[in-house]
A and B are shown apart, each in its own frame.
Chain A
Amino acid sequence: MPQPTLDVRNLQTHFFTRDGVAKAVEDVSFSLGSGEVLGLVGESGSGKTVTGFSILGLVDPPGEVVGGEILFKGRNLLKLSEEEMRNVRGNHLAMVFQDPMMTLNPVLRIDTQMIEAIQAHQKVGTDVARERARDALGKVGIASPDERLRAYPHQFSGGMRQRVAIAIALLNQPELIIADEPTTALDVTIQGQILHEVQRLCRETGTALIWITHDLAVVAGLAERICVMYAGRIVETGSVDEVLDRPLHPYSKGLIESVPSHNQRGRRLNQIPGMTPSLLSLPEGCAFRTRCPIADVECRRLPSLHEAETERRIFCHHPQRETA
Chain B
Amino acid sequence: MSSLLETRELSKRFVKHLDFAAKLARKLGANVQEEVVQAVDQVNLDIRQGEVVGLVGESGCGKSTFGRMVTGILPPSAGTIHYNGKDISNAASPEGHAAALKIQMIFQDPFASLNPRMRVRDIIGEAPRIHGLLEGQSQDEYVANMLEKVGLDASYSGRYPHQFSGGQRQRLGVARALAVQPEFLVCDEAVAALDVSIQAQVLNLFMDLREQLNLTYLFISHDLSVVEHISNRVLIMYLGRVVESAPTEDMFHSPNHPYTQALLNEVPRLDLRKRQYTPVAGEIPSPLNPPTGCHFHPRCPHATSKCHTEIPQLKGIAPDRQSACFLNETP
Residues of chain A whose beta carbon lies under 8 Å from any beta carbon of chain B: 17, 41-45, 49, 98-99, 101, 141-144, 147-148, 151, 155-160, 162-163, 181, 184-193, 195-197, 199, 214-218, 220-222, 224, 240-241, 244, 254-256, 258-263, 265-266, 268-272, 275-278, 280
A-B contact pairs, 21 of them (CB 8 A): A42-B195, A44-B194, A99-B111, A143-B284, A143-B287, A144-B288, A157-B59, A158-B109, A187-B57, A188-B222, A214-B194, A214-B195, A221-B272, A254-B197, A255-B197, A263-B229, A265-B229, A266-B207, A269-B204, A275-B152, A276-B153
Quick one: given A44-B198, A147-B286, A271-B204, are A158 and B108 in contact (CB under 8 Å)?
A: yes
Q: Which of B196, B268, B271 has the most CB of A within 10 A?
A: B196
Q: Mark B260-283, 1 if CB is under 8 A from A, else 0.
A: 001100111111111111111001
**Shortest distance in angstroms between B246's beta carbon and chain A's nearest beta carbon?**
15
CB-CB under 8 A from B286, the residues of chain A are 143-144, 147-148
**Shortest distance in angstroms between B239's beta carbon and chain A's nearest beta carbon?**
10
Selected contact of B60 from candidates A160, A224, A271, CB within 8 Å? A160
Selected contact of A44 from candidates B166, B268, B275, CB within 8 Å? B166
Compute how far the CA of A256 lies from the CA of B196 in the bound complex, rounded to whole angstroms.
8
Compute how far the CA of A187 lies from the CA of B54 in the bound complex, rounded to whole angstroms.
14
CB-CB under 8 A from B230, the residues of chain A are 266
Minimal Cβ-Cβ distance residue in A for B274: A221
Quick one: given A187-B56, A187-B263, A265-B229, are A271 and B201 in contact (CB under 8 Å)?
A: yes
Question: Do B112 and A143 touch (CB < 8 A)?
Answer: no
Chain B contact residue count (CB 8 A cutoff): 73
Quick one: given A185-B108, A265-B229, A277-B153, are A143 and B283 in contact (CB under 8 Å)?
A: yes
Question: Do A191 and B266 touch (CB < 8 A)?
Answer: yes
Compute how far the CA of A102 lies from the CA of B189 in the bound complex, rounded to whole angstroms.
19
Minimal Cβ-Cβ distance residue in A for B228: A265
Q: Known pairs A255-B195, A260-B229. 13 more at Cβ < 8 A?
A: A17-B163, A147-B286, A159-B60, A162-B59, A184-B192, A185-B222, A186-B59, A187-B59, A187-B263, A190-B280, A196-B279, A217-B267, A259-B225
CB-CB under 8 A from B193, the residues of chain A are 44, 98, 181, 184, 214
B16 at interface by CB-CB < 8 Å: yes
Selected contact of A258 from candidates B155, B196, B272, CB within 8 Å? B196
CB-CB under 8 A from B273, the residues of chain A are 220-221, 240-241
Selected contact of A222 from candidates B64, B198, B275, CB within 8 Å? B275
CB-CB under 8 A from A241, the residues of chain B are 273
Compute how far the CA of A294 lies from the CA of B281 in the bound complex, rounded to whole angstroms.
49
CB-CB under 8 A from A17, the residues of chain B are 163
Q: Mark B217-234, 1 if CB is under 8 A from A, else 0.
A: 000001111101110000
Quick one: given A144-B288, A196-B279, are A189 and B198 in contact (CB under 8 Å)?
A: no
Question: Do B270 and A258 touch (CB < 8 A)?
Answer: no
B203 at interface by CB-CB < 8 Å: yes
B94 at interface by CB-CB < 8 Å: no
Compute how far the CA of A278 lies from the CA of B272 in the bound complex, rounded to whole angstroms.
35
**Shortest distance in angstroms between A13's beta carbon and chain B's nearest beta carbon?**
13
B199 at interface by CB-CB < 8 Å: yes
**Shortest distance in angstroms between A42's beta carbon and chain B's nearest beta carbon?**
7
Q: Mark B46-61, 1 if CB is under 8 A from A, else 0.
A: 0000000000111110
**Shortest distance in angstroms between B143's beta carbon and chain A's nearest beta carbon?**
16
Minimal Cβ-Cβ distance residue in A for B268: A217
B139 at interface by CB-CB < 8 Å: no
Question: Do B59 and A195 touch (CB < 8 A)?
Answer: no
Selected contact of B196 from candidates A188, A240, A259, A265, CB within 8 Å? A259
